[in-house]
A and B are shown apart, each in its own frame.
Chain A
């Protein structure tokens, strides 16, 4: 019997270990799915530097995008961006501590995505298929989505105990209802202008965060290593 029991125990142990491992993998998978992105473990400095480079690239492209947009909208389009439009995300980054500001960046990126998509749709109906504006809008949308994912990963890495709220912290900025053609032109101009301003702020913010957060964490890690 004992032998039998002995034979049973290892099977049970292996089964439990496998179950535990499977559970852990499931949790990790669910966690990744909930975040919408698979994050790779990277040092703080390099991941922020990577995001900073991407932000600079998108910002540079956004300047050109806005210029192209204005050229594509006909006469007097220079003045379109001065008109006031509601429901377009504000370019300002809010928050007091780094975690809040990083979360604000992430939320803004997510908030701008539907607006960029909407502008792309609207301009598809106003521009020839060969227009470079359409490809640039599409590129801006894709890169912004990638930037949002990177910020998400950095946030999870730096602040593992702080969950990402499901809704943007700055409040909903839903895309506007149906607009006439003139309103579409004005809307697109305002969206791209604020998008450009937002990226400029993100560039500054990531530079600051890199010096603040990564230095502090490195120092903290080094201190732990000493003990």
Chain B
């Protein structure tokens, strides 16, 4: 087509022309963009990992590391695992992948204290990606929310790695904005009710009968 070039977004590229090795540099830049603008695209990143699979010599360890950090931030989604399925085993035995896998393991098994300790020891890998801490705290709260109706303050503190006055401020914010409440002088945190920490709220499809089934009886009932 002669003339004007229609600007095409990365997402469109990935949707229309995903098996084209020429788009590899664009996808690499897009990872950097996701880091800088605190956005995220699993599809684009998987596309890049796939192209790296096809041309292993072009694999950029730094880019893949950033991608994996972004994937950790997407928890509880299984994005980190999805990426690992596409990264060669011998690479996974090297740094920084070994550390990232350890961090992922701690998060997948809710070992939050161990996670924050290990994260502290590896700030260089993590602080290149803004928003990391906040994202993991969000994940921790998600897991706590589907498990606990009321939880001891110390458990919360350990899970989100916040203590003392910062924790007080954090709790104040949650109480004012997200429906949390406090009991026992702030030692017990009451989380909002949802389907998972109040299983009785789960919608019961037990004995409701769709109209079509009953309609079958109309000729019989006369």
Q: Do A and B bind each other?
A: no
The interface of chain A, by Cβ under 8 A from chain B, is none
